């Protein structure tokens, strides 16, 4: 009996083991099949997206040909999977160009319109054509497949805005036909004026013309792919790029260069704005004509000054007593110019010329219009002696004088060179050398005295200047703006 019982037990155990083995095998097979199927599906989707990228890149090339006017109509095949879908939308995303502070606090919206998209979507991946570029979006984020139509070089922004027209959708074997909706429209600079006010800003004065002056130009894109736009802005420029996740926008700010050419003399302690000045020795011309108001100019001091960090600069013109009636009596007299500079090292530089002929020198009284003319970029000799010739300055100059100042802009204006007391150089050299330390952006402020009594009697409304300098090509500035609107109609078959 016991032996029979043991035999039956072994039989039952064998049956259970076989069942368990089959179950484990079936479970393992199911897992392998499930995982393999999922991996195969993911791989297939990745292949589909890669094909869509290639198709969209080809579409991008075709849309550029049509949109930029090289041809009027083209078509291209678009790859897709059974569950993928192409869609055309004319209102997805927008672009806005704004010129901020073009005149005081005044702003001008130069352009604001939708961009539109051609989109391929499958699963959780999307490939989109927008604004002349192709973007890919997955759960991992947004990446750029091909760049948009945004070209920046040497402070010049060329922006052909390609806008998609029409709404359409298709799947399976898809063919996209791209045709030009209308002629290319020039937005900036605008062509010849077809009517009153058409090519001016809201103030009725500033024209849609290059070079762009004052304030800054902002390019803002609202898009599902705004982070991709922001990254592209950063790679192309060193302008200020900001992202607003709530509004889903990317904004690029490019500063304009400042005053080049004629300017009105600012009020006392106000400045001439210098923006985007090139490095090295960029000043080419700097002159002023100072008109007097009431009375004479006896014992007058006039200066331009600026500071940045530990650096300071001031150039002073001094009109001595008894010279105010020079134009009436023709009595010989001398004018004075002094140039000061400090770099924060505990010493200062002082250059002087106190024997400038009042009627014929680069600093002179012009009897034809009773003004004082000053040419800061003349070849007039200036002597390094540290004495100065006036106590009337806007800034305080009481540091010890550097006994051996060195100029170290190699290859420019005859530098490198080290000076000693009694050595000479030109007013032009000093103006170009010292002001180069304050670029690319600074205010060159006006002061006149003596003291704060207002006895200088300058008529700033009638006083003028001429300032010309080379501008930088740094990629945070804009000098020239070229914008067009390029509309394309996209149909899917």
The three-state secondary structure class of 71 is coil
- Asked if 432 contacts 275 with a C-beta cutoff of 8 angstroms, the reply is no
pLDDT at 32: 45
| Strand-pair category, 271-274 with 283-291 | unpaired
pLDDT over 90 percentage in the chain: 60
**pLDDT score for 79:** 81
pTM of the model: 0.77
Q: Do strands 249-256 and 477-478 pair parallel, antiparallel, or not at all (unpaired)? A: parallel
10 Å CB burial of residue 410 (0-12, 13-18, 19+) is exposed
Half-sphere exposure of residue 156: CA atoms within 13 angstroms, side-chain side: 8
Tens digits of per-residue pLDDT, 154-190?
Answer: 899 999 999 999 999 998 889 999 999 888 999 999 8
Q: Helix (H, G, I), strand (E, B), or coil: what is residue 458?
A: strand
CB 446 within 8 A of CB 304: yes
Q: In a 3-state reduction of DSSP, which class is residue 40?
A: helix
Closest Cα to residue 216, out of 240, 181, 186?
Answer: 240
In terms of phi and psi (left: phi > 0; alpha: psi -120 to 50; beta: otherwise), the region of 236 is alpha
Distance CA 230, CA 233 (A): 5
* CB distance 253 to 240 below 8 Å: yes
Q: Mean pLDDT in the chain?
A: 86
Q: Which residues have CB under 8 Å from 277's CB, separation 6+?
A: 257, 258, 435, 436, 439, 440, 441, 469, 470, 471, 472
Q: What is the pLDDT of residues 286-331, one digit of tens each?
A: 999 998 876 666 778 899 999 999 999 999 999 877 665 666 665 6
Residue ranges for the chain with pLDDT beneath 50: 1-7, 31-42, 454-455
Q: Are 469 and 44 in contact (CB under 8 A)?
A: no
């Amino acid at each position: 009996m016991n032996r029979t019982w043991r035999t039956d037990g072994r039989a039952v155990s064998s049956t259970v083991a076989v069942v368990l083995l089959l179950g484990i095998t079936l479970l393992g097979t199911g897992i392998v099949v499930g995982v393999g199927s999922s991996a195969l599906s993911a791989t297939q989707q990745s292949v589909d997206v890669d094909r869509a990228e290639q198709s969209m890149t080809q579409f991008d090339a075709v849309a550029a040909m049509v949109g930029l006017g090289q041809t009027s109509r083209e078509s291209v095949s678009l790859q897709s999977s059974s569950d993928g879908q192409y869609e055309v939308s004319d209102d997805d995303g927008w672009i806005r160009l704004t010129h901020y502070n073009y005149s005081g606090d005044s702003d001008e919206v130069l352009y604001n319109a939708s961009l539109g998209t051609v989109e391929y979507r499958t699963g959780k991946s999307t490939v989109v054509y927008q604004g002349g570029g192709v973007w890919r979006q997955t759960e991992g984020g947004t990446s750029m497949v091909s760049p948009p139509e945004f070209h920046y070089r040497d402070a010049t922004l060329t922006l052909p805005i390609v806008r998609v027209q029409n709404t359409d959708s298709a799947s399976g074997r898809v063919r996209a036909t791209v045709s030009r909706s209308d002629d290319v429209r020039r937005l900036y600079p605008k062509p010849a004026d077809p009517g009153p006010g058409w090519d001016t800003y809201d103030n009725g004065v500033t024209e849609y013309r290059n070079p762009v002056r004052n304030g800054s130009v902002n390019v803002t894109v609202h898009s599902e792919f705004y982070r991709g736009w922001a990254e592209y802005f950063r790679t192309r420029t060193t302008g200020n790029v900001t992202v607003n996740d709530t509004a889903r926008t990317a904004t690029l700010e490019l500063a304009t260069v400042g005053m080049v050419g004629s300017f009105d003399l600012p009020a006392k302690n106000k400045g001439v704005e210098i923006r985007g000045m090139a490095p090295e020795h960029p000043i080419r011309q700097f002159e002023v004509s100072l008109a007097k108001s009431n009375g004479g100019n006896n014992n007058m001091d006039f200066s331009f000054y600026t500071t940045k960090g530990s650096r300071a600069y001031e150039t002073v013109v001094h009109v001595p007593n008894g010279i105010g009636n020079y134009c009436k009596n023709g009595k010989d007299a001398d004018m004075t110019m002094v140039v000061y500079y400090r770099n924060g090292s505990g010493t200062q530089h002082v250059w002087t010329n106190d024997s400038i002929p009042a009627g014929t020198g680069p600093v002179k009284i012009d009897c034809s219009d009773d003004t004082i003319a000053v040419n800061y970029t003349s070849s007039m000799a200036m002597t390094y002696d540290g004495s100065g010739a006036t106590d009337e300055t806007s800034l305080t100059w009481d540091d010890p004088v550097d006994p051996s100042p060195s100029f170290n802009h190699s290859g420019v204006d005859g530098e490198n060179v080290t000076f000693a007391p009694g050595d000479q150089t030109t007013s032009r050299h000093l103006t170009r050398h010292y002001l180069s330390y304050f670029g690319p952006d600074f205010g060159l402020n006006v002061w006149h005295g003596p003291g704060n009594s207002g006895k200088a009697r300058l008529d700033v409304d009638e006083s003028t200047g001429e300032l010309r300098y080379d501008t930088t090509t740094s990629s945070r500035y804009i000098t020239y703006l070229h914008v067009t609107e390029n509309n394309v109609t996209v149909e899917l078959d």
